[in-house]
Chain A
């Protein structure tokens, strides 16, 4: 088997959304900090286990602690943790506070059910619940470099809407509409995985996102329209 996976997978797959790189940079920042702490503490654990193993005639050092040292190893992690928290918070509010979403997005309504994803587009008139709404199942498309707003809901149990390549993840909860946004800068097809256990066929609840150039996106919409009539 290929053991390189065990190390290489700490590198995240390349992001396909505009904010993916920002999420990844916080991830790598935490990875460096925690990686360094990991190496130092585990090394000390091994070193102390070897260096201070029992030897005849040596007596352990009697001391109940060291206040200055304890203050240092309280304050430094505290600063790092607060910094990680603040860095995360700035990005989090951009991602999740609806007031900070990009303006004039393409709106898609997502309705989950056991074990399908329904996507609804407003169509040419830009309004939902009119005759020209476009409905697709499981596979949906968005245009590249365009802000997209997703309105996520479920009609039965909770499902998890997870586009790992886009760094998009949100539960679809019945009785609740969750708002998300996304702007992709990389054309391609990406997997949509259900991450909230939702019953017997949960493992097969797979969807697909295609990020199209604007021409390809228009062409796809025409095909969907043609199929609907």
Chain B
């Protein structure tokens, strides 16, 4: 043994260095986690206000009259306040809640542990990416308080509307530029860490799917996000410097002739969706990885078709850069381009289908333990199937003509984003909570939370699909001008009640989370009898994770190996 092996680094002494300005990936992971959970709460609260207006149009919410007197005078919602709500709900959920939770929070905490590393490759860069993310978040929250309120041109901010929106839109842009910087720092760090810091014996094809997914997602982020940054920078110039990237000649907006020429509104859409479609895979891919690990662990079976799972992640990642035009089938884009984008979109459905079948194949002939994480796994697959299949309707250009920009689309992506990403997040938190805090969450309460969430979630999202099929456009403040749609008001009320119940059910999670953090049963090293490396160290792991760097002998899914004494075989144990 070399003298270096006896040297175990100690954590910094001061509170600030240890818990606030920490370079420890575990602390940074938790910082990301708590910050993004707060944003999840904020985004969810905005959704509740949206559902209030849709379910009970015209009814007052008196406390909002105090909180937001300009947007909801005496508690009565104005159209532009509603427009701000859906814009900021999506912006906060996508950029500040779901991705930071999955990548910054869970990815940061578990990835170095799962590959047997002491930390991320660039610990200080990691710290910086968190603080830059926080700054972006503060700017985004600040935008609620500027004159005219936060951005209200939709989360995809189509120009020219976003060019003439109030000041909040400028802050929205500034925040996203800052966030882009944070995201690039994070992605570079993940990519470098996976490529360079794997423990001895941890070949690429012995990596758990969670690591693969975070790795590939980082590549996507690195390649896709600059397109958004460029687009919003141009938008900022159009707003404040009088340029016309997206402003054509001869515009008359609100009675004012705009002195611009030469721009093209579709350019914004191309730039935005070139980022925006990889973006939706950025949201779903980490959860695909996490769910693969959960289903294998709790089914006590090797992951069905491991290599195929890796290849299909790679295929999705590659193809995701060639499908953006399916957001633009009816935008005025050349119809020949529509043909190409339809075909690539049809093709990208295939790796997702393969993944679904492989998850089912993993459960087949398993010995399934229904703990809270597994309920999330089943909930994920159930909703992912619906999200995926409804995507095929949208891929077909003629059918998209009918359902484009209707609630069918809203339902489709909520099945992916909430059903998919959120069940993945909850699954990950129930699963890794013992490793994060050294205590167990209450399992039955957790299962109840997941099951209730699934029921209420379906109650909100399924009717969106059917409302879309009767041609209800999304983003309508009030449908009463369309009698055929107004007649379906009971459906909207039913959805809103489910949304409120869904929100309320999260109290179970919050309570369980904080109660268990202090009062939960002490967690052993490996409570789930899982194979991956993070379960071979203590719960929570020591500073620098491992007393000695583990050596890896086989893949992560060696469950129920015949003639083995136990039905699991950790990666650092020879068979």
Contacts and interface: CB of A to CB of B under 8 A. Distances in A.
A156 B490 contact: no
Given A27-B399, A60-B559, A74 B354 contact: yes
Interface string B348-382: 01100110111011011111111000000010011
B562 interface: yes
Given A1-B491, A53-B370, A158-B265, A61 B301 contact: yes
Contacts of A31: 393
Interface residues of A, number: 90
B9 interface: no
Contacts of A196: 158, 405
A23 B469 CA distance: 13
Most buried by B among A52, A73, A174: A174
Contact of A23 (B303, B358, B399): B399
Contacts of A228: none
Nearest to A8: B466
A200 B252 contact: no
A162 B471 contact: yes
A59 to B, nearest CB: 5
Nearest to B468: A9
12 contacts: A9-B470, A59-B300, A61-B364, A65-B302, A70-B358, A160-B473, A171-B331, A173-B266, A174-B160, A193-B471, A197-B153, A203-B478
A169 interface: yes
Nearest to A22: B398
B473 A198 contact: no
Contacts of B249: 175
Given A97-B335, A203-B479, A48 B360 contact: yes
A227 interface: no
B525 interface: no
Interface string B222-262: 00000000000000000000000000111111100000000
A176 B250 CA distance: 11
B79 A85 contact: no
Interface residues of B, number: 104
Interface string A97-133: 1000000000000000110000000000000000000
Interface string A52-70: 1111001111111110011
Given A23-B401, A88-B396, A155-B250, A45 B350 contact: no
Contacts of A206: 481-482
Contact of B342 (A2, A37, A89): A89
Contact of A92 (B254, B346, B389, B398): B398
B332 A38 contact: no
A176 B161 contact: no
A55 B469 contact: no
A216 interface: no
B471 A114 contact: no
A191 interface: yes
A78 to B, nearest CB: 6
Interface stretch (B113-121, B281-289, B304-312): B304-312
B404 interface: yes
Interface of A: 1-2, 5-7, 9-10, 12-13, 22-23, 26-27, 30-31, 33-34, 37-38, 41-42, 44-45, 48-49, 52-55, 58-66, 69-70, 73-74, 77-78, 81-82, 84-85, 88-89, 91-93, 95-97, 113-114, 155-158, 160, 162, 164-165, 167-171, 173-176, 178, 191, 193-204, 206
The 8 closest A-B pairs by CB, nearest first: A175-B248, A164-B471, A96-B335, A1-B490, A61-B365, A65-B305, A9-B466, A60-B560
A70 B342 contact: no
B346 A85 contact: yes
Interface of B: 79-80, 83, 153-154, 158, 160-161, 164, 248-254, 263-266, 299-306, 308, 330-332, 335-336, 338-339, 342-343, 346-347, 349-350, 353-354, 356-358, 360-361, 363-370, 378, 381-382, 385-386, 389-390, 392-393, 395-399, 401-402, 404-406, 462-463, 466-467, 469-471, 473-479, 481-482, 484, 488, 490-491, 493-494, 557, 559-562, 567
Contact of A52 (B299, B382, B393, B473): B299
B471 A49 contact: no
A203 B302 contact: no
A5 B491 contact: yes
A193 B406 CA distance: 11
Contacts of A198: 161
Most buried by B among A88, A175, A201: A175
B335 A54 contact: no
Contacts of B302: 62-65
Nearest to B348: A81
B392 A5 contact: no
B560 A174 contact: no
A6 to B, nearest CB: 6
A2 to B, nearest CB: 7
B300 A60 contact: yes
Given A70-B354, A73-B353, A95 B398 contact: yes
A214 B264 CA distance: 39
A61 to B, nearest CB: 4
B386 A64 contact: no
Contact of B466 (A10, A23, A167, A201): A10
A109 B508 CA distance: 57
A62 B161 contact: no
Contacts of A78: 350
Contact of A193 (B354, B392, B473): B473
A116 to B, nearest CB: 12
Contacts of A191: 482, 484
Nearest to B404: A169
